Structure 1
Amino acid sequence: MDLEKMIGLGVAGNFAHHLEQAGELEDFKEVKTEAPEAPKGIFPFYLPSSDCFLGIYSVASDELKLPEYEANAQVEPEIGVQFEIVYGDDHEVVDLIAERFTTFNDCTIRKEGAKKISEKKSWGPNSKGIGNKWINIDKFEEGGVMDRYHLCSFMRRDGLLHEYGVDAPLPGYSYFYVKLKNWLIEKMNHQEDFGPLEDISAHLKACNYPSHALISIGATAYAEFGEHNYLQSGDEIYVIAYDATQEKGDLEPSETKVILHQRVL
C-alpha cells in the first residue's frame, strides 16, 4: 500500500507524562476526556490530495529537515500502525483493521500560539520519520506479536550517544489494542473542531475516504537528555522497536528489529 495515499493521523497524550514534559498540557486544558488516562484526541499530519500545508507528503526514512525559520523541534518517538479503514453505508468508520507496524518520528515544533496541533506537526518534505521495515500484526490484541516489542530512542550528537526517550513496552501505552481501536473509531467519527483538535470526519470526506490510515499512536516519555535538548543540524536520530524476548534495545540491526535512523539537516 502506497503511504502517500494514506491519511496520516496521530494520537495526542497516549503515554504518561509526555505532554507535561513537552510543555503542551496547557493546550488541552479545555478538552474533556472519558478517563484521566485517556488520550486527548487525534490530529492530522498528512492529508492526501489536500491543497493546504498538510497535503505535502512529509514522511522520510533517512533525513529530517528542520524548518528554515528558528524552531524548537523535538523528536517524538512513536509506533506507527497501518490500518485498513472500513466504512459503513453512511461513510462512518465502522472498523479499523491493524495490518502492520513500524517506528515513527512524529517530530514536533514547540510553537507557542499554535491554534491546532497540526500546525506544529508538518512544515514540508522530510519533517517526519518512518522506520526501515514493517512488522506484520498477527492480531491487535493481547497475545499478539506486539506484546513482545519495546520502543526506545537515542540521539547521537558530537559523537556521543544519548538516550532520548525512555525504553517502554508497547502494551505500556495508556490505550492500546481493542481499547485504542474503539477509541480511534469514535474520534474519527465524532471528534469536533474544538481547541487544538479538528473534525477528522471532515478530513476523511475531503480526502475522498481513503482506504488506509497511517496512525502514530503516541510518543513515549522523554529521558533527561530528550526532555531538555531540541534538534540541531548534524544530529542523528534513532527510534527503535525491538523484540525484548530476543534482543536488546540498541543500534545493532537484526531481522526482528525495526530501526529509524535519520540525519538532521
Structure 2
Amino acid sequence: MQEFLGFGVVGNFAGHLEQAGESHSFINMKSEEKDAPKGLFPFYIPYENCYLGRCCINNHKIILPNDPNLRVQAEPEIALECDVKYDEKHLVTKLVPNFFMAFNDASVRNLEAAKLSQKKNFSPASKGIGQKLPIDRFVYGGVCNNFSIASFLKYNNVWHIYGENSKLLKYEFFYQKLLDWIKNQLNHQQDGDSLEALRPFLERHHFPTKMIFAIGATPYMPFAQEHFLQKGDEVVIVAYNHLQYSFEKIQSLLEEDTLQTKEHTNLSYVYQIVE
C-alpha cells in the first residue's frame, strides 16, 4: 500500500458534508448533477516533498495532531483498490476495481487550511484500511450489492454507534457512474478553492497503474456529531455482507470482543486506538 497513490471523494453520501462543516467550501462549485460529489482530494502521494508524502496509514492506531486544539473525527468509508489504464496521451481511460475494504478517512475539523487535503494527512497514523475483499464485477448485481458499512466508537468503556449503518448502494455515485466521475476528475480537475489539480501528481509519478480511492463517508449519528476523538477512544469501521451478518451481530462481535480474536468471512474492518 505504501507505493499506491491515495485519493478521496468529497461529498458522495447525502448529508455528510453539512455535518462535517465542509459544505461552505464548495458553495460556488457547479456540477452537472445535483447530487454529484464535489471533488477528489489527495491524502497520500508517495515521495511528495510535503505533508502528502507522509505515509499516513496505520491500521492499529490514530495519532492525533500535535496541536491539542485541533478536533478530529473519524470518517467511515469504503475504499477501492484499482488498476489504472491510460491512452497514448497519458489520459486515464479506465479504472478497474479489484478489491474493496473498510476505510477510515479521519479528518481535522477546525484547521484553517487552504486545501482540504491539509485536514486529511495530519499525522503518520491518520488513516486506516481494512482487509481486502475481492470484487467479482463492479456493476449492479455484483458482490458489493450485498455489503453494508457500519462504524462504532468506544468511549469510557461504552460502545456507541458512530455513523449510519448504510448499504453501499446508498452512495450517490457508485459502480460505473463513480468510476467515470473519478476518471474525469483525475484528467480534468483544476486547482481551485479547497481542491488541487490532480494531473501533476500523476505526471510526477510517471502515471502509476495502481491507486486507492476512498469513496466517501457515511453520515454521522448524533453521538458522533458531538464527540471529537480523544486519547483512549477506540474506533471501528466494518464493511460486512448483510446477507450473512445482521447489524446486531456486528455489534455483538464488539461487545463480546471477538471481532479481532476470531476469523470472519465476508468482512473487512479497521480497529484503531486513538493516541
TM-score normalized with structure 1 length:
0.97
Q: In 2, are the aligned partners of 1:58 and 1:128 still within 8 Å (CA)?
A: yes
- CA apart distance, 1:113: 2.6
8 Å CA contact 1:154, 1:161 repeated in 2: yes
CA contact (8 A) 2:99 2:132 kept: yes
Q: Is the alpha carbon distance of 1:64 and 1:112 closer, same or farther for their aligned partners in structure 2, counting shifts above 3 Å?
A: closer
Which consecutive segments of 4 or more residues in structure 1 shift more than 4 A?
none
The residue aligned with 1:195 is 193
Q: Are residues 1:259 and 2:269 paired?
A: yes
SS at match of 2:165: strand
Mapped partners of 1:135, 1:219: distance in 2:
19
Determine which of 147, 155, 158 is the counterpart of 2:156: 158
Q: Relative to structure 2, which stretch is displaced further, 241-250 or 40-49?
A: 241-250
Q: What are the superposed Cα offsets for residues 19-76 of structure 1, whole Å, 9 maximum, x if unpaired?
A: 0011110011111111110000000000012111100110111111001112110000
Q: Is the 8 A contact 2:64 2:123 kept in 1?
A: no
Equivalent-residue separation in structure 2 for 1:119 and 1:246 (angstroms): 38
**Which of 224, 228, 244 in structure 1 is aligned with 2:222?**
224
CA contact (8 A) 2:111 2:119 kept: no
Kindly report which structure 2 residues correspond to 1:15-94, keeping only aligned pairs within 5 A, or say none. Answer: 15-70=13-68, 71-94=70-93
Q: Distance in 2 between matches of 1:153 and 1:50?
A: 31
Matched, 1:209 2:219: no
Q: Matched residues in 1 for 2:199 and 2:151: separation?
A: 33
Contact 1:50–1:207 (CA under 8 A) maintained in structure 2: no
Q: 1:112: how far off?
A: 4.2
Q: Does the aligned pair in 1 maintain the 2:105–2:127 contact within 8 Å?
A: yes
How much has 1:129 moved relative to structure 2? 0.9
The equivalent residue for 1:4 is 2
2:268 maps to a residue whose letter is V
- How far, CA to CA, are the matches of 1:229 and 1:124 in structure 2? 20
Kept after mapping to 2: 8 A contact 1:5/1:210:
no
Match of 2:179 in 1: 181
Shift of 1:256: 1.3
5+ long unaligned stretches in structure 1 = none
For 1:112 and 1:130, locate their aligned partners in 2 and report how far apart those are by CA, in whole Å.
Answer: 24
| Aligned equivalents of 1:112, 1:73: Cα separation in 2 | 10
Kindly state the Cα deviation for residue 207 of structure 1 after the two structures are TM-superposed: 2.0
The amino acid across from 1:102 in the alignment is: M
Matches of 1:49 and 1:79 in 2, distance apart? 25
Decide whether the 8 Å contact of 1:78 with 1:218 is kept in 2: yes
Deviation at 1:211, TM superposition (A): 1.3
1:242-257 correspondence to structure 2 within 5 Å:
242-249=240-247, 250-251=250-251, 252=253, 253=259, 254-257=264-267
For residue 166 of structure 1, give the secondary structure of its aligned residue in structure 2.
coil
Partner SS, residue 164 of structure 2: strand
Structure 2 unaligned blocks of 5 or more? 254-258
1:46–1:57: 8 Å Cα contact kept in structure 2?
yes
1:238 aligns with 2:236: yes
User: Deviations for 1:175-214, whole angstroms, at most 9, x for unmatched residues?
Assistant: 0000000000001000000111111111111222111111
CA distance in 2, matches of 1:12, 1:164: 19
Rounded to whole Å, the distance in 2 between the matches of 1:74 and 1:183 is 26
Q: Is the 8 A contact 2:79 2:103 kept in 1?
A: yes
